[in-house]
Amino acid sequence: MAESALETAWAALAQHRARLATQRTADFFEDPQRFERCSVSAAGLLLDYSRQPVDAAALAALGELADAAGLADAIAAMFRGEAINTTEGRAALHVALRQPRGAQIGGAAIEAEVLAERTRMLAFAESIRRGGRFDTVINIGIGGSDLGPAMAAQALRHFRGGASAGAHRLPAVHFVANVDGCALSDLLETADPARTLFIVCSKTFTTQETLANARTARAWIAGRLSEAAVPTHFAAVSVNAAAMDAFGIHPDQRFRMWDWVGGRYSMWSSIGVSLAIAIGAANFEALLAGAHAMDRHFREAPFGENLPVRMALLGVWNIDLVGLPTLAVLPYDSRLARFPAFLQQLDMESNGKRVTRDGGPVAHGTAPVVWGEPGNEAQHSFFQMLHQGKPRAAIDLLVGMQSSCGREDHQTLAIANALAQAEAFLHGRRGEGVTPHQVHEGDRPVSLLLFDRLDPATLGALVALYEHKVYAQSVIWGINAFDQFGVDLGKQIATTVLPLLQAETIEATVSPSLRGLLGAVRARRGGVP
Ligand code: F6P
């Protein structure tokens, strides 16, 4: 679409914002239909955006921005498997990973490959889950090879299927990521090597953190059992077959992924194998089905009823027009404790960019700073700032209608807290008799996402919703959501710093900024192993 159409759309939005700048959101509720008009449902989720500072005219102008940015074509291009990851010249086909037979997302060949690998992976997962040989499974991976499966395993803990499978105890599934090795060390203190399976998840199989933990785990198995035991105690997921060979991963215990899957979009692939072991194949497939239901909605629903598009446009409004650069994601379900961390990678690694697809500067704000914690606990920590502090945030409240642990009396309290906070964020506390210290301005923009129960299908839909929100926003900002050059520089420098840290002397060529630090570290550590 012509540049001028976009400029016109942005200019119109600026006028709407100026018109609404002093408007209190609570006053929009003079329309008794506000809730019905400003809520949209899909795939088991209800989005209530009636507490966002927009009216019908501003929403229409946001729709025009989406049209001017070519969002409809961009969505179609993603599902067709076009190379929408322009800098790396490849597709971003995570939607192909959750497709059912016959959907042909990405084409017939990709569908066949995905379904074949899914069947292999789930059969392996069930054999580990029910086979009784292993009581401990340790997933080794970082970033997208950790956050999604770890978040989902915690969220779906109540779907792990009881303590036993027939005569056997189900294995406990753990996730380790950090290069400091402490999480792994803690697990190895009590794990029985004969009954422990490690799953190394790394798209590239070159990530320093993952390889460091995998080598330590390998040495532990080889030392406590034997070198010959390594192939049966390791499985792996990667595109890098040569590196899996070199590590000694048996061909039957390795699983494919494809370069058209971004790490942060990969939990639907064999990267989810540890999750599949934790919750079982049927629940894993229900997770995929939930995500696919959201995919269909994103692809087919008109923008006015399209949940991810609605969320994307409201995000653009809050970031670029209202000037709120942060998004607090606050689940009222403690099983979603890692969901904000998962979203941090999804949103900020995707859209934390400052140049357009063509390499020019982006004219508008891009990814929000995403942060959050389980809402009820956060009420007693940082909600003070949300209500009365100077930095203001847009807020997503995620609320389950049923308990994730069978304690409905407790969930009633959780829901009451979420609704009470939504009211406080909207109305605040002002007026006669309210001292300055007690004033709550209100007018904090809140979206509520309601779901029946945190089950696999609902979680799949929830994750897919945010994935599509991120993609829709990237299209509006004109950026590529699927590369991550911003993490490469630190990785590169790490490889040059490590030998400096281990060297006997500090060479004269080392930068003055690093020289002082290296000296301080060496003085405090003595020798560096
Ligand atoms: O953190 C950067 C990153 O490249 C992420 O995009 C990715 O999810 C993570 O590293 C892990 O990469 P890999 O799966 O290749 O080990």
Amino acid at 101: R
How far away, in angstroms, is 13 Cα from ligand 1 center? Answer: 37
**DSSP-based three-state secondary structure for 319:** helix
State the sign of the Cα–Cα–Cα–Cα dihedral 53, 421, 150, 294.
negative
Which pLDDT value is given to residue 1?
Answer: 46
For position 529, what pLDDT does the model report?
Answer: 66
Spatial separation of the C-alpha atoms in residues 529 and 116, rounded to whole Å: 44
With beta carbons less than 8 A apart as the criterion, state whether 350 and 470 touch: yes
At 145, list the tokens. 């090879």
In angstroms, the CA 64 to CA 472 distance is 14
Return the ligand 1 atom nearest residue 263 CA.
8
The identity of residue 366, as a single letter, is T
- Count Cβ atoms within 10 A of the Cβ of residue 485 and give its class: 0-12 exposed, 13-18 middle, 19 or more buried: exposed
How far are the Cα atoms of 112, 122, 156, 241, 490 from residue 292, in angstroms, in the given order? 17, 18, 18, 29, 35
The closest of 28, 51, 155, 27 to 421, measured between CA atoms, is: 51
Q: What pLDDT was estimated at residue 491?
A: 86
Antiparallel, parallel or unpaired: β 254-256 and 39-42: unpaired
Largest pairwise CA distance in the chain? 78
Which residues neighbour 144 within 8 Å (Cβ) at sequence distance 6 or greater?
A: 203, 262, 263, 264, 265, 266, 267, 271, 345
Helix (H, G, I), strand (E, B) or coil at 132: coil
In 262-338, alpha helices (H) = 273-279, 281-300, 307-316
| Rounded Cα–Cα distance for residues 201 and 161 (Å) | 24
Contact 206, 142 (CB under 8 A): no
CB 394 within 8 A of CB 315: yes
Task: Give me the residue label for tokens 């030998």.
Answer: 499
Question: Ligand 1 in contact with 263 (CB < 6 A)?
Answer: yes
Tell me how far the alpha carbon of residue 143 lies from the centroid of ligand 1, in angstroms: 5
Cα–ligand 1 centroid distance for 83 (angstroms): 20
Measured from the CA of 484, which atom of ligand 1 is nearest? 6
Which one of 94, 204, 240, 350 would you pick to mutate in the ligand 1 pocket, going by the greatest count of ligand atoms within 8 A of its CB? Answer: 204
d(CA 274, CA 171): 10
Per-residue tens of pLDDT for the chain, all 529 residues: 456 999 999 999 999 999 999 999 999 999 999 999 999 999 999 999 999 999 999 999 999 999 999 999 999 999 999 999 999 999 999 999 999 999 999 999 999 999 999 999 999 999 999 999 999 999 999 999 999 999 999 999 999 986 555 667 899 999 999 999 999 999 999 999 999 999 999 999 999 999 999 999 999 999 999 999 999 999 999 999 999 999 999 999 999 999 999 999 999 999 999 999 999 999 999 999 999 999 999 999 999 999 999 999 999 999 999 999 999 999 999 999 999 999 999 999 999 999 999 999 999 999 999 999 999 999 999 999 999 999 999 999 999 999 999 999 999 999 999 999 999 999 999 999 999 999 999 999 999 999 999 999 999 999 999 999 999 999 999 999 999 999 989 888 888 898 988 888 888 889 999 999 998 998 898 765 6
Catalytic residues: 349, 380, 491
Among residues 366, 478, 363, the alpha carbon closest in space to that of 74 is found at 478
Integer Cα distance of 249 and 270 in angstroms: 15
Regarding the beta carbon of 38 and ligand 1, being less than 6 Å apart is answered no
Q: Which of 43, 49, 58 is nearest to 300 (CA)?
A: 43
Q: How far is the CA of 171 from the centre of ligand 1 (A)?
A: 26
Tell me, in angstroms, the distance from the centre of ligand 1 to residue 264's CA.
Answer: 8
Find the radius of gyration of the CA atoms of the chain. Answer: 25
Ligand 1, residue 266: give the atom nearest the CA. 8
Instruction: Report d(CA 443, CA 440) in Å as an integer.
Output: 9
Beta bridge partners of 399: 450
Q: How many CA atoms lie within 13 A of 329 on its CB side?
A: 22
Determine the atom of ligand 1 nearest the C-alpha atom of 147: 8
Q: Is 473 in the pocket of ligand 1 (CB under 6 A)?
A: no
Do residues 113 and 174 touch, judged by C-beta distance below 8 A? no
CA distance 441 to 63: 29
Other beta carbons less than 10 A from residue 452's beta carbon? 13
- Confidence (pLDDT) at 246: 96
**End-to-end C-alpha distance for the chain, whole angstroms:** 57
Which of 140, 145, 347, 489 should be mutated for ligand 1, with most atoms under 8 A from CB? 145
